[in-house]
Amino acid sequence: MNHSLAEMHRAHRSWWPWAVLAIVLLGTAASNGKNDVENAVLGGVLLAVLATVPAVLPVLPGALASGPLLASGALSGAYFALGYADGPIFLALPTATFLVASVVAVRRWLPGALVGAALLAGGLAGRWQWYADEPHKSLWQGIGMFGVVLAAGAVATATRNRFEARAERVERASTEERLRMAQDLHDGVGHGLAVIAMQAGVALHVLDRDPAKARESLEAIRATSREALESLRYELATIAGEPAPRRPAPGVEAVPALVERVRSAGLRVEVIGDPGTLAEPVGEAAYAVLQEALTNVLRHAVATTATIVWERGSDSVALRVSDDGRGGEVQDEGMGIGGMRARVTAIGGTFRAGPQQHGGFEVTVVLPA
């Protein structure tokens, strides 16, 4: 059960249906106190209370959801058919309709509400034998009850739809936040592990003949692993609901450090052009794309060189990341390429990724500047 239906179900345990029951009980006793029908007070109160009881009961499952409405309408109709006086019993069926409609779809409450209102109207029509001097009174009361019952159901349906829409918005926001955290984990930790793997390979390769280079690689592994662990701890703390300050996402100002980190892993990186100053969302998206593209080069391309090209226009900035690796068609975008595409399109940019004509792979984005 979603949160909206849970909230609406709690209405059956709130105070106001019981207040309606008390009003009907006392009001019916008072209105029938001078009735000439034998045992009018006792019989009228009993029928009125029974007609109101469905309003304070939970909605029955499945096809029986209309049961409370049919019962309330039939008992209310019997009350009037026996000649009992007008009173708060008119509240019984509208209240039951409101509560049933607040937790079930229209198709489940509407038939029961219509039949229940028809039974009530039939009972009102039967009162003509008791009030022959007012033959039209019961007719208009019956028509009015149809309107009141349907209005109660419509208001409840609108309220339920509002609760459900709010619950959907909350769930959608929660899902988007979980996806964002997963993307951040993929970007940050995945990049760090790729660099660590490359650095470890370099260290093993030069360990015997160039201890200084091996030491440099090990120091880079230590620094990169610290960054990856910090990112992992932050995201895990966020997922667990622990208080953690929001870390500012890196932008273009962090690109030089990113390039040096990748170069230290043994990949030759050429940078052409300059992005200039970018708005924060654009800079963050550009950094995320560049980080993921370079990570993919390290992990998959078997390349020796990666080229980064910035082209600044009057109202846009283009970024191309290419390599001289093995290339290949994209079979499954996954979280890497799919995440880049989502980040770019979210701020109004365009994205393309695929193999180059003469080998290698290229990622191209155009972002608003």
- Residue holding tokens 């990113």? 258
Task: Report helix, strand or coil for 326.
Answer: coil
Asked if 325 and 360 count as a contact pair (C-beta separation under 8 A), the reply is yes
In terms of CATH architecture, what is 252-368?
2-Layer Sandwich (3.30)
Q: Which residues contact 74 (CB under 8 A, 6 or more apart)?
A: 116, 119
Say what the pLDDT of residue 185 is. Answer: 64
Q: For residue 127, what are the CA distances in angstroms to 24, 49, 140?
A: 20, 20, 13
Say what the pLDDT of residue 38 is. Answer: 47
Going from N- to C-terminal start, the domains of the chain cover: 1-247, 252-368
Q: What is the spatial distance between Cα 253 and Cα 260, in angstroms, rounded to a whole number?
A: 13
Residues facing residue 46 across a β-bridge:
none
pLDDT in tens, the chain (369 residues): 444 445 444 544 455 556 665 666 656 655 555 454 444 556 667 777 777 777 666 555 544 677 888 888 888 888 888 877 777 788 888 888 888 888 888 888 898 889 989 998 888 887 766 555 566 677 788 888 899 899 988 988 998 888 888 878 767 765 665 666 566 666 666 666 666 766 677 667 667 777 776 777 777 777 667 766 666 666 666 666 555 555 567 788 889 988 888 887 778 899 999 998 889 889 988 988 888 888 888 777 778 899 999 999 888 999 999 999 887 776 656 667 877 888 899 899 999 998 888 888 999 999 998
Q: What is the spatial distance between Cα 15 and Cα 334, in angstroms, rounded to a whole number?
A: 52
Nearest partner of 32 among 22, 24, 40, judged by Cα: 40
Nearest partner of 124 among 110, 137, 109, judged by Cα: 137
Q: Are strands 268-272 and 305-312 parallel, antiparallel or unpaired?
A: parallel
Task: Report helix, strand or coil for 285.
Answer: helix
Say what the pLDDT of residue 358 is. Answer: 83
- Per-residue buried b or exposed e for 281-315, using 16+ beta carbons within 10 Å of the residue's own CB: bbbbbbbbbbbbbbbbbbbebebeebbbebeeeee
Say what the pLDDT of residue 19 is. Answer: 64
Please give the backbone phi and psi of residue 112, each rounded to the nearest 5 degrees, phi first.
-65, -35
Cβ-based neighbour number of residue 167 at 10 Å: 16
